[in-house]
Structure 1
Amino acid sequence: MIRAVFVAAALLLLISAPKSLGQTLLPLSATHYATFVSVLTWVLALFLVREINAGLNRWADNKWIWKGDDSNWDWKNEVAIVTGGSNGIGAMVVKKLLSHGIRVAVLDVAPFSDKYQNGNVKYYKCDITSRVQVHEAAETIRSDLGQPSILINNAGIGNANTILEMTPERLRKIFDVNLLSHWITVQEFLPQMILMKKGHIMSTASLAAFVGLAGMTDYACTKAGLMAFHEGLTQELKHRYKCPQIKTSIVYPNWTRTRLTSAIEKDILNSMGSTIMDAKDVADIMVKHIISAKSGQLILGPSIVTIIRALPAWLQEIIRDRMAQIVTVNATTAVA
């Protein structure tokens, strides 16, 4: 928007000023001066089209609601569920939520750090792939903290194996944690949100949803599936449950520095000038979006990734080939 305003101001100055003054400001011949003004006009038009497109995208992502409405949210009385909240991005999300006075329930199989413990956060050891454990934890949360209005499905694991190396047990585990658990948590917490006509469900995906790489096929599949889950959930809330008030968001982080990327960090940094995000920065963006009371998609990386599949096949394959050597280790929980 700033660029469009700057170009518009420059164009207005050149058009409104006497031609003699304009040519003084820009010492060009009459022909070159006219060409410059014409080019500037086209640049402004492109900027305006881009801004209009971005605005329409935000409107669509927000269920055709033009702006966020936080009037129905009292953050000090809201309860958030964060899966996988003991480490990495999840732990940073918990910390950010607490800074807004939101009460937080952490669901994780890993122990929760004592440094974040206070009266507004409670840890529940829970395997989110178990419907029974999730329901038991949910009942305890409702008793301890109140009815949850925010669900952040953040838990995720990764493998670093080729398709032939992948064992059935590890394959089932990554799909259970990264994708199928979303059905369990949403089925547990969404019904009450519908009754309240208020809620926010956020899913943590990855830019891997847009491109499959050697050594992480299983991970990319779960994140692509999560994209479809988010789209379907959004549609059902609008057209089946008539409840567009419930916000739905999906986050696509780029490579993020957590314990999951430690084994391949050097390979990431050596690939096509890739960078690694800090978990704190990812969490900050996620929580700011929650506080904005809007639905949406958060692309945390090169925007070109989202349009890779619209590119010619040869160009898509060049991009994938350039990143094929990032995940070459053989390990579990090696990618984020």
Structure 2
Amino acid sequence: MSRLIKNTVLSPLVTGPLLYLLTASPPSIRDALLLRLPIKNTTALFMSLKWLLAIGLIRKANKVLSDWADNKWIWKDDKSVWHWETEVAVVTGGSNGIGAMVAKGLVSNGIKVAVIDVQPLSEDLINCPNISFYQCDVTSRGAVQKAGKAIRAALGSPSILINNAGIGNAGNILDVSPEKLRAIFDVNLISQWYTVQEFLPDMIEKRKGHIMSTASMASFLGIAGMVDYCSTKVGALAFHEGLAQEIKYRYNCPEIKTTIIHPGWTRTRLVKPLEKALQKAGQSIMDPKTVADAMVRQILEVKGGQIILGPTAAPALRALPSWLQERIRDKTAQQATVRATTAVA
């Protein structure tokens, strides 16, 4: 509700006409409106509306420029090249959780989906038409190559890649074992090199594609007890930014979209061991369908960029004074206080 009020107050479509009616409309209209307003200091009212209009216009211009930049400086896309009934999407870690919901959302729009995962499909996906399963360890370059070859032979070349596979640990830096540390970096970050190396060349050849990564609000700050997880998500953000630059300037193919999504705490198997601690800390937990719906919508709208499902000012955290950054980090210190084994997201 507060966001709705904020967006209404700062909308130029609201403040602009209102300012006109109160200052420049015919006297009969202006006077009638002023009589109905329970405000005596009209000078302050007019000044406030002017500031709100100016701020709203700046926000609107900023959004337009940001969307343009996220779209690799392409002003208008040729969406006619996308035919959902012929498109093939690869979803890593798509057997359960957010990935499974994304797979179902894509096939409901006619897209064929290849799920690659070490775990078998969940029961609600087994009989779902247009979903094919390829057992694959995404931390193995050879396994990804083998899965890619099988997918192209059966379904055709994928035009959509969703790097959703992820695992998480809850534990302090001194407690994490070398095996778990290696595993979380391999699954959450290194695997994205392997999948992009496997599927990007076909997208470049066709000058069409969309690569999406599932990151986290942890991309923007480190959390005690989850330093390994946060580090991989910071890396995922850097990978997304660098990939977008290489697609534009190394392969001269800005038509290929790149998206990264940053959900907050989401009710998945990864978060389940932490739910009590999060609730005690007053943190809300998102429904995984909210995340999946946002990802599917981004694909269907043929848009690239960042999707932030949390405080929209999070990317600006590093621009704040150090003392304020540290106060924000201090508030997260008790959110991951239990030890948990690795769980698939």
Q: TM-score range by the shorter chain?
A: over 0.9
Distance 2:269 2:117 in 1: 16
- Deviation string for 1:125-169 (max 9, x for gaps)? 100010111111111111111111110000000011111001111
Map 1:155-234 to 2 at 5 A.
155-234=165-244
3-state DSSP of counterpart to 1:65: coil
The answer to whether the 8 A contact 2:107-2:129 is kept is: no
Query: Cα–Cα, structure 1 residues 4 and 168, in superposed 2: closer, same or farther, change >3 Å?
Result: same
Residue of structure 2 equivalent to 1:11: 19
Q: CA deviation at 1:67?
A: 4.0
Residue of structure 1 equivalent to 2:262: 252
Distance 2:255 2:227 in 1: 35
Match for 2:314 among 283, 305, 315? 305
The answer to whether the 8 A contact 1:81-1:150 is kept is: yes
Aligned letter for 1:59? W
The answer to whether the 8 A contact 1:262-1:334 is kept is: no
The answer to whether the 8 A contact 2:213-2:240 is kept is: yes
3-state DSSP of counterpart to 1:63: coil
3-state DSSP of counterpart to 2:55: helix
Q: CA deviation at 1:4?
A: 2.3
The answer to whether the 8 A contact 2:180-2:342 is kept is: no
Runs of 4+ in 1 over 3 A off after TM superposition: 19-23, 25-29
3-state DSSP of counterpart to 1:110: coil
Residue of structure 1 equivalent to 2:4: none
Map 1:19-98 to 2 at 5 A.
20-21=31-32, 23-26=34-37, 32-98=41-107
Matched, 1:277 2:278: no
State, as a whole percentage, how many aligned pairs show the same letter: 56
3-state DSSP of counterpart to 2:79: coil
TM-score normalised per structure 1: 0.95
Distance 1:262 1:331 in 2: 10
The answer to whether the 8 A contact 1:69-1:294 is kept is: no
Aligned letter for 1:51? K
- Deviation string for 1:53-94 (max 9, x for gaps)? 111111111111224432111101111000000111001001
Query: Cα–Cα, structure 1 residues 27 and 205, in superposed 2: closer, same or farther, change >3 Å?
Result: closer
Tell me, which stretches of 5 or more residues in structure 1 are unaligned? none
Distance 2:299 2:34 in 1: 51
Distance 1:28 1:322 in 2: 40
Matched, 1:323 2:336: no
How well do the aligned residues superpose, as a CA RMSD in angstroms? 1.6
Tell me, which stretches of 5 or more residues in structure 2 are unaligned? 1-6
Distance 2:267 2:196 in 1: 28
The answer to whether the 8 A contact 1:264-1:334 is kept is: no
Question: How many pairs does the alignment contain?
Answer: 333
